[in-house]
Amino acid sequence: MTQYIYPQNLKATANLWLWSLRDFVVLAVAALLSVLALVQLHIFLPVVVVLCYGFLTIRMDDTTVMDFMRYAVRYLISTQQYFEWR
């Protein structure tokens, strides 16, 4: 059995800069389409959507900003906290 040292025995997901490879491809295609929409139709909304998606999918230590926001909402709003006073 061959074991590779880097990256995690070749089982880690592919990353490119701060995004996973899938998110980077989606961002590249969406950025191209949004720039075309901006130039041809003078619509600025697709650029804003692509920038928001790019920010929310930044990946650090296998956690995205969107995951962190989901965990925060779940902890602060949607699940009941249990406190015990002694």
Q: How much is the pLDDT for 6?
A: 67
* Structure-block tokens of residue 65: 């900003």
Rg (CA), the chain: 19
* Structure-block tokens of residue 13: 């997901």
* Peptide linkage before 7 cis (omega within 30 of 0): yes
pLDDT digits (tens, 9 = 90+) for 15-34: 778 888 899 999 999 999 99
Segments of 1-86 assigned E as strands: 15-16, 19-20, 59-60, 63-64
Q: Which helix (H) or strand (E) covers residue 54, if one does?
A: helix 45-56
Question: What are the residues whose beta carbons fall under 8 Å from the beta carbon of 70, sequence distance 6 or more?
Answer: none
pTM of the predicted protein model: 0.74
Q: How much is the pLDDT for 42?
A: 95
pLDDT digits (tens, 9 = 90+) for 29-72: 999 999 999 999 999 999 999 999 999 999 888 889 999 999 99
